[in-house]
Amino acid sequence: MNMTRREFVAVGLAGAAGLCVGGVAGAGNAVEPPPPPVGEDGYKLWLRYAPPGDAAKNYRPVVRRIRVDGSSATSGIIRAELHSAAAALLGGAVPSNENDLADGTVLVGTPGNSALIRDLNWVADLAAVGNEGFIIRSTRIGNSPVTVIAANTEVGALYGTFHFLRLMQTGRPIDRLDLAERPALQLRLMNHWDNPNGTIERGYAGRSLWQWDELPGKLSPRYADYALACASIGINGAVINNVNADPRILAPENLRKVAAFADVWRPYGVRMYLCANFAAPMRVGGVPTADPLDQGVADWWKAKADEIYGLIPDFGGFLVKANSEGQPGPKTYGRTHAEGANVLADALAPHKGNVMWRAFVYDEDVDPDRAKRAYIEFTKLDGQFRPNVAVQVKNGAIDFMPREPFHPLFGGMKQTPVIAEIQATQEYLGQAKHLVYLGTMWKEFLDSDTHAKGSGSTVAKVLAGQVHPGHLTGMVSVTNPGLHRNWCGHHFSQSNWYAFGRLAWNPELSAEAIADEWTRMTFTNDDKTAAVIRDLMMGSREAFVNYTMPLGLHHLIGGDHYAPRPWNDRALRSDWTATYYHKASEDGVGFDRTKRGDHAVEQYFPPVCDLFDDIAKCPEKHLLWFHHCAWDYRMKSGKMLWDELCAKYQAGAEQAAALQQTWQSLAGKIDSRRHQEVADRLVIQVADSAKWRDQILEYFGRFSKMPVPRASSESK
Ligand code: GCV
């Protein structure tokens, strides 16, 4: 069943929970923003379409009519969204003119579905924006001033529509537009770690959105709402099951359920991907082995791919976690990761599907240092992967820590496409309890200069294929929505879903610009209030780093990945303990990864390698990641390491308290329900930040044997 947005609006109006703004009453003329509603629950995410205040009066002459050409489901979604959004933003319904063109028409279409757009003859400009890009232009057709949103495909037109709406949602001018956009990256995917039993690994917003028991017959309205939210920020696919994959997802009865989702998502441009368990030929297919060089195994994967494409013609491909944390893989059969990836790639290639093969591997027999292992394994295989394989690499070499230097595989793989995996779900960043905006963290990663081909070879450029040209590019996010009414648990965790989409579309956007637009769309367009919220978001990740793992410390946690456990020295594997990483003793703290230590710095290109290696030059934010330092090591501030560490923890806890105070000052400026819900979580965050400070400093103090200096605020 294809559920278009228009149909969904009707569902929403009939009382089901919807993202839709349906129900906008009459044609009001309000220019000032109305007082914030009392009870927003966050369901509408950044698609609330609250009236933009004064700007609305400038928008009305530009948006007097709406004309969306085309009769497909996607065109229907564009039409419904434009109408409902414009009505809400402008305070009254905007008529359509589907057959003619009046002054102030917003015209949306493609050369394929619109004679008007074809006649504009924007051939070269449209060619330049590719399949998913769009042009938005204020122009004239005949004598009529109009705004044209044109694209080569209807999904491109959908993205253009959301861009246009975003301009209005954020109070920007729309009367002289001339812009063209195309996504920098091809694969912009959500990675869900959802299990068939409805749980979500590292999920903090309730149970899975996917109602397997009801599928394929019954489709929750949330599936379409989810796809709409993804499309609104350019996300073009989703891997719907956990990388710790239950092989049964590939069983015929489950594939029929998966196909039902894919049908809902198709008009939104959200393609379906699955995690495949490498042992599926044995566990689902009854083949005696999963050896990738076995012909029976290759045949099984080929037949499985054919079956999937029979049900889902635009299936995107497989994501695989192999030989990692207990998952089966090619190494079980003495084969390489490349041989494993290639058997799946060959099965998908006739259908133009891709394999995303994860580099999150850390076999103990490769190297004693977990941070070095993936680089060692994968660089050896560079050039051996089929063209439709991308190696999917986490931003850092350990595991989504609050701060890691970029993974050396970025730039380090020269002949194999590398796509980035980041994590919106805040597994190690306060989960859904702490307010932590990750746009700043991801920008730090994307802007890191790998020097793979000289200065300026940033991670963003590596990902976009500008450093080692290749044909597959992408960025994915382990993502955060669940059945929680506000999708993400914490209202501010929505900003991480949003920031991921925006950065995957354009990694050169600034974290600040993204925070600003998200705030305006999600909370308020009032300049002063928006600036306060934006600034609070911008400082939130550094505050978190300060009160949890500053100066390059990492993995000071236990199994819940939430609370401080620096003393954690027992786990199934030594590299799951905290002591393995911090190496605190009376002589100092930190992991020596220098050329005098375990040589991990040598995985980076010069001069990055030398920068990290030289204790005097190493950025202090990474100091203890790369160096084991004496407690009285002199920091750039002139303080001893111990004093600096104490100051960081104290500052972090103070920053959390300041965050809370700032938030309190916004009471009455945004709707009271969301204000209160965020305030409730800030109480937890402030208490936890103090716990982190106290427990970590008490623990490290046992080694430093030095007192904790009084915090700056105490000494006043
Ligand atoms: C899905 C970390 C997480 C695991 C996760 C793993 C991975 O170790 O804690 O829950 O497994 O990363 O990315 O595969």
Residue numbers in the chain where pLDDT is lower than 50 = 1-18, 20-32, 715-716
- Indicate which residue's Cα is closest to atom 14 of ligand 1: 243
Instruction: Write the Ramachandran bin of 455: left for phi over 0, alpha for psi from -120 to 50, otherwise beta.
Output: beta
Catalytic residue positions, numbered: 325, 399, 427
- Indicate which residue's Cα is closest to atom 11 of ligand 1: 244
Residue 577: predicted pLDDT:
98
Residue 242 CA: nearest ligand 1 atom is 1
For residues 265 and 258, give the distance between their C-alpha atoms in angstroms, rounded to a whole number: 11
- Indicate which residue's Cα is closest to atom 12 of ligand 1: 399
The structure tokens 């013609």 sit at: 313
For ligand 1, whether the C-beta of 118 sits within 6 Å is no
- Measured in angstroms, how far is the CA atom of residue 607 from the centroid of ligand 1? 32
- Measured in angstroms, how far is the CA atom of residue 167 from the centroid of ligand 1? 37
- In the numeric block, which tokens belong to residue 102? 């009046």
For residues 330 and 321, give the distance between their C-alpha atoms in angstroms, rounded to a whole number: 11
- In the numeric block, which tokens belong to residue 485? 């009414």
Residue 55: predicted pLDDT:
87
Q: Which is nearest to 402 in space by CA: 540, 575, 601? A: 540
For ligand 1, whether the C-beta of 362 sits within 6 Å is no
Helix (H) or strand (E) holding 502: helix 494-505
For ligand 1, whether the C-beta of 243 sits within 6 Å is yes
For ligand 1, whether the C-beta of 193 sits within 6 Å is yes
- Measured in angstroms, how far is the CA atom of residue 209 from the centroid of ligand 1? 20
Residue 478 CA: nearest ligand 1 atom is 13
For ligand 1, whether the C-beta of 401 sits within 6 Å is no
For ligand 1, whether the C-beta of 535 sits within 6 Å is no
Residue 324 CA: nearest ligand 1 atom is 14
Whether residue 77 contacts residue 268, with contact meaning beta carbons closer than 8 Å, is answered with: yes
- Measured in angstroms, how far is the CA atom of residue 493 from the centroid of ligand 1? 19
**How far, in whole angstroms, is CA 368 from its chain's centroid?**
31
Whether residue 43 contacts residue 83, with contact meaning beta carbons closer than 8 Å, is answered with: no
Q: In a mutational test of the pocket of ligand 1, which residue from 202, 324, 577 has the highest number of ligand atoms less than 8 Å from its CB?
A: 202
For ligand 1, whether the C-beta of 69 sits within 6 Å is no
For residues 658 and 534, give the distance between their C-alpha atoms in angstroms, rounded to a whole number: 14
Edge-to-edge strand ranges of the sheet holding 144-150: 65-68, 105-109, 144-150, 134-141, 178-181
- Measured in angstroms, how far is the CA atom of residue 325 from the centroid of ligand 1? 8
For ligand 1, whether the C-beta of 202 sits within 6 Å is yes
- Measured in angstroms, how far is the CA atom of residue 269 from the centroid of ligand 1? 28
Residue 568: predicted pLDDT:
97
Q: In a mutational test of the pocket of ligand 1, which residue from 191, 193, 373, 421 has the highest number of ligand atoms less than 8 Å from its CB?
A: 193
Whether residue 24 contacts residue 50, with contact meaning beta carbons closer than 8 Å, is answered with: no
- Measured in angstroms, how far is the CA atom of residue 7 from the centroid of ligand 1? 38
For ligand 1, whether the C-beta of 346 sits within 6 Å is no
Q: Which is nearest to 241 in space by CA: 205, 195, 181, 284? A: 195
- In the numeric block, which tokens belong to residue 338? 């490349």
Residue 5: predicted pLDDT:
38
For ligand 1, whether the C-beta of 360 sits within 6 Å is yes
- Measured in angstroms, how far is the CA atom of residue 421 from the centroid of ligand 1? 12
Angle subtended at Cα 653 by Cα 696 and Cα 46, rounded to the nearest 5 degrees = 120
For ligand 1, whether the C-beta of 404 sits within 6 Å is no
| CA distances (Å), origin 534, targets 33, 164, 436 | 19, 22, 12
- Measured in angstroms, how far is the CA atom of residue 152 from the centroid of ligand 1? 39
For ligand 1, whether the C-beta of 582 sits within 6 Å is no
Q: Indicate the Cα dihedral angle 157, 163, 168, 169, nearest 10°.
A: 120
Residue 201 CA: nearest ligand 1 atom is 10
- Measured in angstroms, how far is the CA atom of residue 510 from the centroid of ligand 1? 28
For ligand 1, whether the C-beta of 244 sits within 6 Å is yes
For ligand 1, whether the C-beta of 421 sits within 6 Å is no
For ligand 1, whether the C-beta of 201 sits within 6 Å is yes
Buried b (16+ CB within 10 A) or exposed e, 264-298: bbbbbbbbbbbbbbbbbbbbbbebeebbbebeebb
Q: In a mutational test of the pocket of ligand 1, which residue from 319, 320, 373, 399 has the highest number of ligand atoms less than 8 Å from its CB?
A: 399
What is the reported pTM?
Answer: 0.95
- Indicate which residue's Cα is closest to atom 13 of ligand 1: 360
